[in-house]
Structure 1
Amino acid sequence: MAITRGFRFQVPNFREVFPKDLILMGEIEPLIKYNPDRNAMPEQRRDFDPKTGTGTGLLMWKANVTDPTELKANRASFALWFIAEVVPIPQAEESLPGMRRLVVEGLMAEPKIAGQGDFKYQSYQFYATGIAGDNSGAKGNRPVADKAA
């Protein structure tokens, strides 16, 4: 099969997927690698797969977001991962304490299976390269699909 596990496809129009934007809940945090040793120092994850040698090598950041257009409550909130060397900074004002509207740039989606047992369904892991209106230096990184060889 030509599409392998871990394939991310570009989403050219953010508004087609999230017509009412996203709601950022809390802060954007570093995405930490899993380490079975609880006493080990936490290490931030990078966008690189050593098995295949693919990825940008940039740092990864995690944002907990909610899609206001999703009708099913258990699918409305999810983790959005940013691929950028510096943390993206949202520019929108807080609408409620700890909640901001969010429009991302460089949106990518990776298909995955979610749910458990007989109640599995198709879902997506979303990635982004930056936030609209951010001038912190996080934007401008090329997405995975555009990385030069």
Structure 2
Amino acid sequence: MRLPADFDQWYPQGLYLVGEITPVTEYQSPEDRSRNRPVRPRIDEATGLLLFRGTFADPAAEKDREKSVTVEFACAYQPVPPESVAGVPFRPVVLEGMTVAPRAEVSGQAKWITWVVRATGMRAPGGASATVVAAGRPPSSRPAAGPSDAAGRAAA
């Protein structure tokens, strides 16, 4: 069950990308690795799009375990984060097409609910236009500025 979510309500102080966006791959057993079988990308079951993952810092989080947020992106091409800000080690971002899904966590006797955060893209804060830019695609094939859909295409 995925619920639409408003980025500003969930992250009032924004999110900051820590590291890079990486493709999500299916589990590969030691036997598969020893036989040099290719690593297969994971596909989102709901949309049929490729999955990518990034780790973000949430400065508004009150609990230590909530300060680091993993976000999965379902899109046709790997999202490219906004340009970095000079003198800042993290990149501020705004998630587009954000959804959340509850997930039960258990550790011994303790049980709690966490949230799986998904998005279709990201942009720089304060930017009026939003795009999902494909890594490795030539500039002429990139979508025009404007809202983008889950497949990374510019909306009409």
Q: Runs in 1 of length 4+ with deviation above 6 angstroms?
A: none
Number of aligned residue pairs: 128
Identity of matched residues, %: 27
Range moving further from structure 2, 82-91 or 111-120 = 111-120
Corresponding position of 1:111:
102
Decide which structure has the larger Cα Rg and report it: 2
Please state how far the C-alpha of 1:78 moved relative to its aligned partner.
2.5
Range moving further from structure 2, 25-34 or 114-123 = 114-123
69, 85, 88: which one aligns with 1:96: 88
Corresponding position of 2:11:
18
Distance, in Å, in 2 between the alignment partners of 1:32 and 1:135 is 20
List aligned pairs for 1:51-130, cutoff 5 A.
55-94=46-85, 96-97=88-89, 99-130=90-121
Per-residue CA deviation, residues 8-45 of structure 1 (Å, 9 max, x unaligned), is 1111x210000011111001000111122451321111
121, 135, 150: which one aligns with 1:141: 150
Q: Which runs of 5+ in 1 are unaligned?
A: 1-6, 49-54, 143-149
RCO (CA 8 Å, sep 6+): is it higher in 1 or 2? 1
- Letter of the 1:79 counterpart: T
Q: TM-score, normalised by structure 2?
A: 0.74
Corresponding position of 2:126:
none
Distance, in Å, in 2 between the alignment partners of 1:23 and 1:115 is 27
Corresponding position of 2:28:
35
Please state how far the C-alpha of 1:79 moved relative to its aligned partner.
1.2
Say what the alpha-carbon RMSD is for the aligned residues.
1.9
Q: In the alignment, is the contact (CA less than 8 A) between 1:89 and 1:134 conserved in 2?
A: no
Distance 1:80 1:112, change over 3 A: same
Per-residue CA deviation, residues 75-122 of structure 1 (Å, 9 max, x unaligned), is 21121000000111121424533x211101100001001241122211
